[in-house]
Structure 1
Amino acid sequence: MKKPLLALSVVALSLGSIMTPLHASAALPLQVDGNELPSLAPMLERVSPAVVNISVEGTMVSKQQIPESFRFFFGDELPAEQSQERPFRGLGSGVIIDSEKGHIITNYHVINGADSIKVQLSDGREFDAELVGGDKMSDIALLKLKKKAKGLTQMEFADSDKLRVGDFTVAIGNPFGLGKTVTSGIVSALGRSGLNLENFENFIQTDAAINSGNSGGALVDLNGKLIGINTAILGPNGGNVGIGFAIPSNMIHNLTEQIINYGEVKRGMLGVQGGEITAELAQALGYESSRGAFVNQVLPDSAADKAGLQAGDVIVSLNGKKISTFSELRAKVATLGAGKKIKIGVIRDGKNKQFDVTLGESQSQQTKAEQLHPGLTGASLSNTQKSDAQQGVKVTSVTKGSPAESYEIEQGDIIIGVNRHRVSNLKELSKYLEKQDGVLALNIQRGDRRVVVVVR
C-alpha cells in the first residue's frame, strides 16, 4: 500500500506547484532586473492565424474475403470478395502558404478519401476547400479555398537544411479537435526515417507535444517561420511521449511547387541502389565516418551513370548540404523533382569528388484504377516507359474476378485514348476522367493490334 500512496502524493505536489502561481499571476513582474520577461506571445500572435483547422467527411470502402466454402455452395455468381461502404469523419490541421491564391498545405493522410473538405480559420470563418494535388508517399497535400477569402495570413518558409539539434521549436495545431493549441520544445534529431519503409522519409524529430489532430499543423522556429509540417508521433496508444515527427519545410516547398506547376509530383530519380554505412563497411572501405549513403549499384543509362558515379562511392553531400543516410538521400532526391540540376559530393578511394547531375524522372508510380472510374476497379495503371514503342497508360495488373476483368481489360494493355480523346500518361487520363461519369470507350493498344473496350 505504500507505493500507491507515494504516487498520489507526487501528483498532489505537482498539482500544487502548478496551481500556486495562478493565484499570484496578477503580481508577477513585467521585468526582472530591468529586462522584459521572454515570451513567445508576440510571434504567435503574428503567425498563428496562418494555421487552420481542417475537417473532412467521406466514405471508406472496406473489402472482405468470402471463404471458398461459401462460394462452393452458392456458385460462381458469388464474388471472391465483398465491399462495404462506411462513412467517416476526420480532423486535422493545415498551414496557409499563399494568402492570395488561398493555398493550404496539410498531410495527405488527413484528406485521403475525403469527399468534403472544410477549412476553419482562426477568426471562426469556414470555407469549402478542394484538393489541388498530393503525394501519398511523402504525405503532403495541397488544398485551395473554393472561394476567395480576405484577410488571410500566410506563413513564410524557413530553410530546414540549416536546422541543428537543439534549436527551439514551436508546434501549432488542433489536437483532439480542441482548437488552436501551442506547444514548444527543441529539435531532438534530424534525418529520421524507418516509420514506413515504402515512403520517402527525412523527418525532423521534436519533443514539442504533438497529438492526434496536430497532423498537418505547423512546426515553426522562434522567428515564426515554417520549418516543418507535423505528421506523426511515436508512443503507446497514440499518446504523446515527447517523440514527434515533422516533414522538413524544404521537402514541402519542393513538392508544392511541382503540384502547382505540373498538377502532380514529378519524382526525381538518381539511379543508384545502396544502403547505410555500417562500422564494418566503413572499415572495409577505409572510410573514417559512419555517415553517408553507400552506393552498391549504379543503374545503366541513369542520371547517376551519365554523371559518372560508380559503385563503391559514398555520397556525403547534396548541393553542399551533408547527407547522413541513404534514406535521407532517397527522400531528398525524390522530392526535388525530375529535371533538377544538383551537385553530388562523394568520397571515392579516400578522395573527395563533385559531380553535376540532372535528375531523371521516376517511372515507378502506379495508380489503382478504381480511383479514376468504378468500372476500372481491379486494374493497376502506370505510365509507359520512354523506351516503349507506344506511349500511354499501361495496365500493369488485373485482379481476377474484378470489374476490370469482366470488361476484358488485360494485363499489358496500353490505354491510348478515351472517347476519341488522346491520352499519353496518367495525368491526362485522370484529368479527363474527372469530368466523365458515363460510358467509357477505351482505345487500347494490345500487342500489335488496337481494340476498343466499352466500360460502363
Structure 2
Amino acid sequence: MPKATTRTLRRVSAAFSLILSLAVLAPFSLPAHAESAVPQSAVPQSATQIKLSFAPIVKEAAPAVVNVYARRVVSQRQVSPFFNDPFFRRFFGDQGGFGAPRQRVERSLGSGVIISADGIIITNHHVIKDADEVRVALSDRREFDCDIVLDDERTDLAVLKIKDGTGNFPHLAFGDSDKLEVGDIVLAIGNPFGVGQTVTQGIVSAVARTHVGVSDYQFFIQTDASINPGNSGGALVDMSGHLVGINSAIYSRSGGSNGIGFAIPVNMVKLIADAAKHGGKVRRPWIGASMQGVTADIAEGMGLDRPRGVLVTRISKGSPAAKAGLKVGDLVLAVDGTQVGDPNAFGYRLATKKLGGTADLDVLSDGREHQLSIALEAAPETVPRDTREIGGRSPFTGATVENLSPAVAEELSLQGEDSGVVVKSVTRGSPADRVGLQTGDIILTVNQEDVKTTKGLVSIAGSDPYIWRVEVSRSGRTLRFAVRG
C-alpha cells in the first residue's frame, strides 16, 4: 500500500476516535444552564408514584363528604271525580268534592361537605328545601340528625349542624377558587343516584361560567368530572385535597351525566359559612348601581375594539357608587384587578367581598381609564317595610306586600327599583295567585290610582269596584290586567 494512502487512513482513524471521545464526554461537559434544561428522569420512590393514583387525596377528602337525607310532609286534598259535575255541586256545595286531607312524605337525597371539626356541613339549598327533618350519613356509616343553621336560596347553599355529635369530625379545608385555571385536574365526590359514595375525576372546563340559571349569582366552575343526580352538595376537590367548589348542577337531556357539571366556587361558600357563624343572616355589599352587558353594537358605539366590561345604566342617589364618582355610561372593566365580562361576573365579585371594606374598580369614562374605590355597605332600609298580608275580596287577597327600599330590592334581587310597593310572597291558590301576581312584582296603579305604600294598597283593596284595573312592573316590563270585581 502506498505511504500516502497509509497516512490518510491514519488521519481518518484519529479524527473518528476524537469525534467518538467528544460524543461520549459531551453529556458531562454541558454548561450549567443547558444541563438544567434537560428533563431529568428519576426512579419512582413510592408505590403512589408507580401507580399514579389519586388514592391519597381521596383518603383525606372522602371522609368529610356525607350523604344528606331530607324529609318533608306534604298535605294534599283528594278531589272527587264527581266534583266538576254541576248536579253534584248543587247538592254538596263547593267543598263537597274534597276528601279529608292526606299527608304524603317526600324525600330528597343529596350530598354535603363537613367544613369544621364541630360538624358544620355545607350542602345545596335545593337538597333540603322545605325539609322537616334532615339526616346525614358519614362514610364510616355513622348517622346523625342535623339542624338547618342557614338556608340561602339566592346562592343555592345551605348550612347544617350535626346534633349531639362528639366533635372532631373529619373536615375539608377551603381552597381558593380564584386560583383555579382551565385544565386543572379536580375530583368530584358525592352520592350519585343513592348508590353510595363515588369519586370521579376530570378537569376544569371553565372558571367563570354564567347564565346557568341555578342561582341568582350565576358564576360557576364548569368541569367534565361525572356529576349525576345525588351529587348535589358534594365536594369538588383540587389536587391538594382542598375544597374548591360545591357541586350544584348538571347539563343533561337524559338526567345522567353528559360531561358538563357546574360547581359553586368555594369563595362564595366561604361567605355563606361565615354568615352562619355570625348570626345566620347573609348580608351582601351594595353599591347602588345597575349594570348591563356590552354587546358588539355597544362596543362599536363606544369606540372599543371588542365587547368588554359592564355598562353602568343607573346610579341610586346618595349610594356608595354615587359618592365614589361612578356615572351612568361608565364602563367597569375590572373589580380589584379581575376583569368582569358581564353583570353576573360583576355581581359575584362584589358578593364575595366583606362589608366594611372597599372595592377598586377599573373604569373607562369619557375615553379615559381610571380607578375608583367604592365603599362596601349593606343596602339601607330607607323606608319602613310595613309588611302586610292583603285580605278581603280583591285581586290582591293572599299577597304579602312590603314598602320597597334598597334593602328589600336587594333581598328580592330587583334591579333598578328602590321605591313603591312590592309583592313579597303569594299564597298558593289565593285570588292573588289566580290572577298571576308573582314575588317581586311592583304594584304601580290600581284603577289609575298610584300605589305608594302598603297602607295605601290595603285601603284600595278594601273598595268594591265593578272592575279592577291593575298595573304592575315585572323584570323591567309594565304589565296590565283587568279583573271583574
Same structural fold, with TM-score higher than 0.5 when normalized by the shorter chain: yes
Q: Could you tell me how far 1:238 is from its partner in structure 2?
A: 1.4
User: How many Å separate the matches in 2 of 1:239 and 1:198?
Assistant: 21
Q: Quick one: which of 90, 111, 126 aligns to 1:93?
A: 111
- Determine if contact 1:251/1:336 at 8 Å carries over to the other structure: no
Q: Could you tell me how far 1:201 is from its partner in structure 2?
A: 1.1
SS in 2 for 1:55: strand
Q: Map 1:3-42 onto structure 2 (within 5 A).
A: 34-35=43-44, 36-37=49-50, 38-42=52-56
User: How many Å separate the matches in 2 of 1:301 and 1:133?
Assistant: 32
Q: Could you tell me how far 1:249 is from its partner in structure 2?
A: 0.5
User: How many Å separate the matches in 1 of 2:291 and 2:350?
Assistant: 14
Q: Partner residue of 1:313?
A: 330
Matched, 1:124 2:141: yes
Q: Partner residue of 2:61?
A: 47
Larger radius of gyration: 2
Q: Partner residue of 1:293?
A: 310
SS in 2 for 1:331: helix
SS in 2 for 1:222: coil
Q: Partner residue of 1:152?
A: 169
Aligned residues: 367
- Determine if contact 2:156/2:215 at 8 Å carries over to the other structure: no
Q: Could you tell me how far 1:396 is from its partner in structure 2?
A: 5.0
Q: Quick one: which of 32, 57, 64 aligns to 2:71?
A: 57
Q: Quick one: which of 193, 199, 203 aligns to 2:210?
A: 193
Q: Could you tell me how far 1:179 is from its partner in structure 2?
A: 1.3
* Structure 1 range deviating more: 56-65 or 178-187: 56-65
Which 5+ residue runs of structure 2 have no aligned equivalent?
Answer: 1-40, 390-396, 409-420, 434-453, 459-485
- Determine if contact 1:366/1:380 at 8 Å carries over to the other structure: no
- Determine if contact 2:156/2:214 at 8 Å carries over to the other structure: no
Q: Could you tell me how far 1:70 is from its partner in structure 2?
A: 5.1
SS in 2 for 1:57: strand
User: How many Å separate the matches in 2 of 1:231 and 1:61?
Assistant: 29
Q: Could you tell me how far 1:398 is from its partner in structure 2?
A: 6.4
Matched, 1:380 2:397: no
- Counterpart amino acid of residue 310 in structure 2: A
- Determine if contact 1:292/1:323 at 8 Å carries over to the other structure: yes
CA pair 229-198 structure 1, distance change in 2 beyond 3 A: closer
CA pair 197-398 structure 1, distance change in 2 beyond 3 A: closer
SS in 1 for 2:254: helix
- Determine if contact 1:96/1:105 at 8 Å carries over to the other structure: yes
User: How many Å separate the matches in 1 of 2:331 and 2:284?
Assistant: 23
Q: Partner residue of 1:252?
A: 269
Q: Could you tell me how far 1:86 is from its partner in structure 2?
A: 3.0
Q: Map 1:318-357 onto structure 2 (within 5 A).
A: 318-336=335-353, 338-357=355-374
- Counterpart amino acid of residue 314 in structure 2: Q
User: How many Å separate the matches in 1 of 2:254 and 2:143?
Assistant: 32
- Determine if contact 1:118/1:129 at 8 Å carries over to the other structure: yes
User: How many Å separate the matches in 2 of 1:387 and 1:217?
Assistant: 32
Q: Could you tell me how far 1:266 is from its partner in structure 2?
A: 1.5
TM-score, normalisation: structure 1: 0.70
Aligned CA RMSD, in angstroms, stands at 4.0
CA pair 151-258 structure 1, distance change in 2 beyond 3 A: closer
CA pair 60-330 structure 1, distance change in 2 beyond 3 A: farther
- Determine if contact 1:255/1:335 at 8 Å carries over to the other structure: no
- Counterpart amino acid of residue 34 in structure 1: V
Q: Map 1:54-453 onto structure 2 (within 5 A).
A: 54-60=68-74, 74=89, 78=95, 86-100=104-118, 102-196=119-213, 199-336=216-353, 338-362=355-379, 378-380=398-400, 385=405, 402=430
SS in 2 for 1:237: coil
- Counterpart amino acid of residue 61 in structure 2: V
Identical-pair percentage = 41
Q: Could you tell me how far 1:300 is from its partner in structure 2?
A: 2.3
Whose strand proportion is higher, 1 or 2? 1
TM-score, normalisation: structure 2: 0.66
User: How many Å separate the matches in 1 of 2:86 and 2:327?
Assistant: 57
User: How many Å separate the matches in 1 of 2:316 and 2:107?
Assistant: 44
User: How many Å separate the matches in 1 of 2:168 and 2:66?
Assistant: 14
User: How many Å separate the matches in 2 of 1:386 and 1:243?
Assistant: 36
**After superposition, what is the alpha-carbon deviation per residue over 1:239-292, rounded to whole angstroms, capped at 9, x for unaligned?**
101000000000110122123213211233232222222222212112234332
- Counterpart amino acid of residue 173 in structure 2: E
